[in-house]
C-alpha cells in the first residue's frame, strides 16, 4: 500500500465519524436519548484522534503522487493549505466532546451542550468535507472540470503519443 493510498483510506474515518455523530446529535435534540448522545460524542472523540494520522500521512502522500504527470500541483497546495485548519478544528471538536462526555458522566446531558457540539461538528464537518473535495481534485482530473480525453491524456507517459487517430485512419484504409 502506497503512502497516498494509506492517506486516502485514513482520511475517510474522521469525515464519516463527524457525519454520523452530527446525525446522532441532531436526533438527540428531537428525541432525547442519552445512549445515542454518548455514542455520537464518542464518534467525535474518535474522529478527533484519527485526524492526527490523516494529517501526518499527508506529507508522504504528497511525495508519492507529485511525480505523476496527471497530478495537479496547485490542487496539492490548496488541499495542504486547508488541511491544517480542518485537522485542528476536528481535534477541537473531539476535545469538546470529551469534555462534555466527562462533565456529564454523573448527570443528564444538557440540550445546550448537545446543541453546541452539534453546531461545532457541522461547521467542522463542512470544513473537512471541503478540504477532502480539494484532495479529490489532486489526482482526479474529472473533478477539475477536465474533459474525458484530457483525463486519459494525462495518464500517458512522456514520449508516448496519442495514436487513437492513427488507429482510426488505419481502420478506414482496410
Average pLDDT of adjacent 10-residue blocks, the chain of 174 residues? 76 88 92 87 94 82 71 77 88 93 76 89 91 78 48 43 46 49
Give the residue extent of every domain in the chain. Answer: 3-151
How confident is the model at residue 54, as a pLDDT? 85
The secondary structure of the chain as a DSSP string is --HHHHHHHHHHHHHHHHHHHHHHHHHHHHS--HHHHHHHHHHHHHHHHHHHHHHHHHHHHHHHHTTSTT--HHHHHHHHHHHHHHHHHHHHHHHHHHHHHHHTSSSPPPHHHHHHHHHHHHHHHHHHHHHHHHHHTTS-GGGGT--HHHHHHTTSPTT----HHHHHHHHHH-
CATH code reported for the domain at 3-151: 1.20.120
Amino acid at each position: 500500500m502506497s503512502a497516498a493510498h494509506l492517506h486516502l483510506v485514513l482520511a475517510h474515518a474522521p469525515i464519516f465519524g463527524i457525519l454520523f455523530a452530527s446525525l446522532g446529535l441532531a436526533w438527540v435534540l428531537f428525541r432525547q436519548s442519552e445512549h445515542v448522545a454518548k455514542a455520537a460524542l464518542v464518534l467525535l472523540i474518535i474522529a478527533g484522534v484519527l485526524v492526527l494520522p490523516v494529517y501526518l500521512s499527508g506529507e508522504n502522500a504528497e511525495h508519492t503522487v507529485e511525480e505523476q504527470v496527471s497530478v495537479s500541483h496547485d490542487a496539492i497546495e490548496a488541499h495542504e493549505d486547508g488541511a491544517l485548519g480542518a485537522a485542528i478544528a476536528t481535534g477541537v471538536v473531539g476535545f469538546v466532546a470529551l469534555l462534555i462526555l466527562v462533565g456529564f458522566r454523573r448527570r443528564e446531558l444538557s440540550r445546550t451542550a448537545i446543541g453546541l457540539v452539534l453546531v461545532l461538528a457541522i461547521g467542522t464537518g463542512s470544513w473537512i468535507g471541503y478540504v477532502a473535495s480539494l484532495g479529490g481534485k489532486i489526482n482526479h482530473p474529472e473533478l477539475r472540470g477536465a474533459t474525458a480525453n484530457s483525463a486519459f491524456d494525462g495518464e500517458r507517459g512522456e514520449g508516448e503519443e496519442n495514436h487513437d487517430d492513427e488507429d482510426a485512419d488505419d481502420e478506414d484504409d482496410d
